[in-house]
Amino acid sequence: MSGSRRENVGYPECCEIECLSQEKLGRRDVIEAMRLIHDKKVAMCQELEDIADSLPAAVDALSCLSIAAKLLPALQRAHEYEEKVIFPAYEKLAASRGQTISTDRLRAEHISDECFAADLTGILLKIGHGGPVDQAETFGFMLRGFFDGLRRHVAFEDEHVVPAIRNKTLSNRNAVEGDSGLQQQHAGSG
């Protein structure tokens, strides 16, 4: 396995995209949900990279159909969760620290990624259904441009958004545990 590929360890109940539903993500801790989203995105990037590496003659039609079926729906589900849950939490956290952080660029990348994914899906479906690989070099550049950008997006969130939210979550837990400890001390001393 390549070093850039992540296993979906700890997510045995997940199918390809159903685990990215708002309902199922909402049952998870926010950090765990982000980890799952990132794992799914990185796994799809690896699948697309494998296709790009197999161009032009050794493309697996079934692989093209498989990724085409899940690429756009998975991104849409992941983006919906990030935009409704993660980004507001990140912005609120920054505001509480007196910082101004905008997630506008990340939201714009979501739109761009979804449009790009729709274009790729059409080509992948055509190839998956036995169509020729037209302009293999151009298609390879398209695939690489998409998955490189998606990996950069995930890396940014891993480096900035997830740690900020994790640290806030930990400080909130420590405050609650500290308050519980103080309450226990007061109860024992009375």
Q: pTM above the 0.95 mark?
A: no
| 3-state secondary structure at position 190 | coil
Alpha-carbon distance of 77 to 22, in angstroms, equals 7
Count how many Cα atoms sit within 13 Å of the Cα of residue 74 in the half-sphere of its side chain: 24
pLDDT, block means (10 residues), the chain with 190 residues = 40 64 89 94 97 94 97 96 93 83 91 97 97 95 98 95 79 47 44
Q: Encoding tokens for residue 151? A: 């990996």
pLDDT at site 101? 80
pLDDT at site 21? 87
Alpha-carbon distance of 47 to 8, in angstroms, equals 14
pLDDT at site 93? 86
List the end-to-end C-alpha distance of the chain, in Å, as a whole number.
60
